[in-house]
Amino acid sequence: MKNNKHGGVKLKINVDILDIILDKIATLVKYFLGVLLGIMLISALFTVFTRYFLGKSFAWSEELIRYLIIWVSFLGAAVAYKEEGLVFFDMIVNAVRGKKRRNLLLFNNTVTLVFMGCIFVNSIQTIMMPSVAKQISIGLQISMAIPFLAVPLGLGLMIIFGINHYRVILDKYKKGVYN
């Protein structure tokens, strides 16, 4: 590779490093999701066993499953968004080619980021409210900020991945993928 006056080689290296970092983050989140799903499975089996064989039900196990579903949903959505695996109504996008397709994808990404940004800010404000931060869950006896934290964490990752989508869209356009 030749080094151009705009630092082309350095930019390419930085983009490669960015891809590696984002891939590592997504991989770590996937492993964490696996652990959370394992905990959910064990808790669900424990709940079924105690309810049907011992005749007892523990509030903490059902509450744990509910809170882990929230975490799995938001973190899983972030990874799916990074890998472009979320449901996307692409009938219009597939009908156009070239610059129009690129522009439509960039517009869609911008609208998505604005929406996620609004929810992200709102979720941070919600967690910081004393009524949430000081509220203790009945079964697990933890601050309700912990289950609520899944929302800004998942959306924060989605925003980071969404910002990177601009580069991905432009790279695909330059390579002629949208023609």
Query: What are the pLDDT tens digits along the chain (179 aa)?
Result: 445 555 555 656 677 888 899 999 999 999 999 999 999 999 999 999 999 999 998 889 999 999 999 999 999 999 999 998 887 777 788 888 999 999 999 999 999 999 999 999 999 999 999 999 899 999 999 999 999 999 999 999 999 999 999 999 999 999 998 88
Pairwise CA distance, residues 24 & 127, whole Å: 27
pLDDT of residue 35: 98
Locus of tokens 């079964």 = 139
d(CA 105, CA 166) in angstroms, rounded, equals: 9
DSSP category for residue 143: B
Instruction: Give the C-alpha separation, 169 to 177, whole Å.
Output: 9
Whole-number pLDDT of residue 9: 58
Contact criterion met (CB below 8 Å) for 84 and 123: no
- Exposed e or buried b for every residue in 6-27, given b needs 16+ CB within 10 A? eeeeeeeeeeeeeeeebeebbe
Is 161 in contact with 22 (CB distance < 8 Å)?
Answer: yes
Instruction: Count Cα atoms within 13 angstroms, Cβ side, for 81.
Output: 25
The conformation of residue 88, written as its DSSP 8-state character, comes to -
pLDDT at 179: 81
- Amino acid at the residue 86: L
Residue 99 confidence (pLDDT): 93
162, 112 Cβ separation under 8 angstroms: yes
Output the pLDDT for position 88: 75
Question: Residue 146: which residues within 8 A CB-CB, separation 6 or more?
Answer: 67
